[in-house]
Amino acid sequence: MKAMDILRGLYVRSPRFVQNAARPLVSLVPTQLKFGRSYADWRQRISRAAVDPAFAADQHLVSLRKVIAKAQAGSPFYRDQMESAFGKAFDPSRLMPEDVRRLPVQTKSSFKAAGDAVLAVPRRQLDRAETSGSNGEPSFAFYLDKDRSPREMAFVYDGWSRIGFDENTPRASFRGFAFDNESQVYDWDPALKELRCAVFPLGEQEAARYVDEIDRRQIQYFYGYPSAIELFCRRLVQIGRKPQRPILGILPISEPLYDHQRRLMRSVLGPVQLAPFYGLSEKVAFAIELEGDEGIYEFNPLYGLTELLDEDDNPVTEAGREGRIVATGFLSTGMPFIRYDTRDFARLVELPTADNGYRLRIAGLAPRRKPGFLISFEGQRIAALDIAPEDPEFFKGISEYQFYQNQPGIVIMRYILSEGGSVADVERMANHFAEKVRHTLSFEPQQVTKIAGGRSGKRAFIDQQLDLEFY
């Protein structure tokens, strides 16, 4: 475990006052040293695996056997399961990917019940992490390797490199930033070359200040929550401005990226490239969207083993069929995640095989924790990804909006009027949505003073309170 690998992660995750104190020193560290040797080695491995399926398949198998062996040796929880599935003479060095199916699927509940018995190393050697919980679900505490940061960033930057972004490129970040000084709405971090823009509030005045700072620092990439970047783009339309230099790319994180958001960003910013990826806080799976195939994601076999299972835990093998994503992570193994049910869903495009380097391809990603569905009067799911038109003029008079649903067929359309907006604008918008879904839903406008976000600052496009398991 290398000190620099740990220190970079500590900086990124440290409190703001610690970052502020360390920034002058960290900003002087050369980029190559700041990211470290481990990061460079992983970038090389990832690049080679991308063009060499045999190498990818070999590395995938080596990593799988390592995490299984580590779990068997250090975790009483997994050791018992392996003995039950394979017998006491089980040898992880002979394991093949398909053999993993003999082990049970794990859930947050099974990990909570197991406690420290699931850990493969002492807890003091790990970092505690926690999911924020959503849709009424409780938070989930788990543990990650302290030196994971360079490995994780190697995969992320590899995905971003496809649109020209690298370690030396500045970016404007739109996430759940909050500053101690209420009058402060942005902050420049020279260590990370990041302009941090608050999204609460993000009105026309804040947007104008952000554009000024983006121009001053010649930033050409946006990073952050799609909902926040979408809102910033709407503000640009309202104030009649755009950055002086062309925006080359958008690096969306943490939320589903909807088609209407892609269209809006490009209508405001021009033919901008997007580099979305799929990842989880538990570090069990990583997939990037394929170039030229929007909505098609390919899982990286060096990051983990990813399966698509039906409701009976059987593998989905027919292209086009939906299943839930179950993953075994290689990135952080102090608390092994073996066959972990992410509760996210997708449709199969291509199965992983040794010939394709064990690269699973999927489409129709539907994170369970952030459902992109509304439920009709008849109890049918309606994908709400494409009910807003592309033309930004459609939103004239509306500053922000969000769908809220707690009963089938009825959708509360929360909205905030912009300056000059009227009830007529709201009614026009609600009528359009109802016609778009052929009146299988009723949209009831509700004026609010703000659109609430979660603890991390994310705004959900749909605040869905119904349990989708029943629809």
Environment class of 169 (CB within 10 Å of its CB; exposed 0-12, middle 13-18, buried 19+): middle
Instruction: Answer whether CATH 2.30.38 is correct for domain 301-365.
Output: yes
Residue 254 binned pLDDT confidence (cut-offs 50, 70, 90): confident
Q: What is the dihedral of CA 459, 307, 151, 138, to 10 degrees?
A: 40
Cα separations in angstroms, 421 against 230, 255, 397, 430: 19, 29, 4, 14
Distance CA 25, CA 9 (A): 16
Per-residue pLDDT reduced to its tens digit, 65-78: 999 999 999 999 99
Residue 136 binned pLDDT confidence (cut-offs 50, 70, 90): very low
State residue 12's pLDDT score: 56
Q: What is the DSSP letter of 260?
A: H
Taking residues 230-247, what's their average pLDDT?
93
Distance CA 91, CA 157 (A): 36
State residue 15's pLDDT score: 59
Distance CA 399, CA 157 (A): 34
Taking residues 37-59, what's their average pLDDT?
97
For the ranges 42-46, 90-94, 290-294, the lowest mean pLDDT is seen at 290-294
State residue 13's pLDDT score: 56
The dihedral built from the CA positions of residue 459, 463, 469 and 471, taken in this order, carries a sign that is negative
For the ranges 3-17, 396-410, 430-444, the lowest mean pLDDT is seen at 3-17
Residue 458 binned pLDDT confidence (cut-offs 50, 70, 90): low
Domain 373-470, CATH number (from 3.40.50.800, 1.10.3720.10, 3.30.300.30, 1.10.20.10): 3.30.300.30
Q: Are the C-beta atoms of 305 and 313 separated by less than 8 Å?
A: no
- Residue 146 has φ and ψ, to the nearest 5°, of -65, -30
Per-residue pLDDT reduced to its tens digit, 256-270: 888 888 999 999 999
β-pairing, 249-252 vs 273-274, is: parallel
Environment class of 247 (CB within 10 Å of its CB; exposed 0-12, middle 13-18, buried 19+): buried
State residue 135's pLDDT score: 42
As a CATH number, domain 166-274 is 3.40.50
* Per-residue tokens: 273: 């490239």
Residues 6+ apart with CB under 8 A from 254: 225, 456, 458
State residue 121's pLDDT score: 98
State residue 162's pLDDT score: 95
Distance CA 466, CA 383 (A): 14
Per-residue pLDDT reduced to its tens digit, 323-360: 999 999 999 999 999 999 999 999 999 999 999 999 99
Distance CA 176, CA 454 (A): 9
Highest mean pLDDT among 22-26, 208-212, 383-387: 208-212
State residue 440's pLDDT score: 84
> Has residue 171 got a pLDDT over 60?
yes
Higher-pLDDT residue of 23, 308: 308
In DSSP terms, 442 is beta-bridged to 410
> Has residue 369 got a pLDDT over 70?
no
Q: Are the C-beta atoms of 389 and 398 separated by less than 8 Å?
A: no
Higher-pLDDT residue of 30, 194: 194
State residue 395's pLDDT score: 82
Query: Which residue from 18, 461, 446 is spatially nearest to 262, judged by alpha carbons?
Result: 461
> Has residue 18 got a pLDDT over 70?
no
Higher-pLDDT residue of 180, 242: 242
* Per-residue tokens: 250: 């958008």
> Has residue 178 got a pLDDT over 80?
no
Distance CA 17, CA 432 (A): 48
The dihedral built from the CA positions of residue 332, 138, 223 and 257, taken in this order, carries a sign that is positive
Residue 366 binned pLDDT confidence (cut-offs 50, 70, 90): confident
* Residues listed for the chain: 471
Per-residue pLDDT reduced to its tens digit, 283-320: 999 999 999 899 999 999 999 999 999 999 999 999 99
Return the domain boundaries, the chain. 166-274, 301-365, 373-470
For the ranges 39-53, 253-267, 271-285, the lowest mean pLDDT is seen at 253-267
Got the DSSP string for 373-438? EEE-TTS-EEE-SS-S-S-GGGGTTEEEEEEEEEETTEEEEEEEEPTT--HHHHHHHHHHHHHHTT
